[in-house]
Amino acid sequence: MTLLPFLRDLPAFERFDEKELDAFVASSRLYEFPEGHRFSGENEPGSSTYLLVTGRVRVFHHDAMVGATLSVNEVCSGEMFNVLSLVGPLSVSTTAVALEPSIALEFPRDSLPDIKRAVPRVAHQIQYMIAIQLANALQARNTALRSRL
């Protein structure tokens, strides 16, 4: 499967040239996952982020403080999930499960230093996505806590 046309159509990757996209793809692995596949579980160490090529994935979180399972997102083709797995050896705060057979590009945390050296603009984009994910998680947590007041 040729991923360059797919990546060029995504806003997060459209500004990169072929060399930069090739480096990103070379540092990743393309996998097919069956319906029901669990990409991550809450409080388990994460080591990769995924770019969904085809399929749908439900990402959710059980908040013990609020006492509810919160559906964080339904990820569709062209979206990344488990982005916070790239931040050190942290536990993943969500569970991600394939809602249908899916194809995803797995980008392991161990590849991030190589990407920073080889194609710093792509690494900067990945760091930006991490910052957005952290901001969204903080805002969701703040909203949940305020609802308890």
E strand or H helix that includes residue 56: strand 56-63
Give this prediction's pTM: 0.85
pLDDT tens profile 95-121: 899 999 999 999 999 999 999 999 999
Length of the chain: 149
- Asked whether residue 57 carries a pLDDT value surpassing 90, the answer given is yes
Q: How does pLDDT run across 1-26, given as a tens digit for each residue?
A: 589 999 999 999 999 999 999 999 99
Quickly tell me which residue has 């949940």 as its tokens: 144
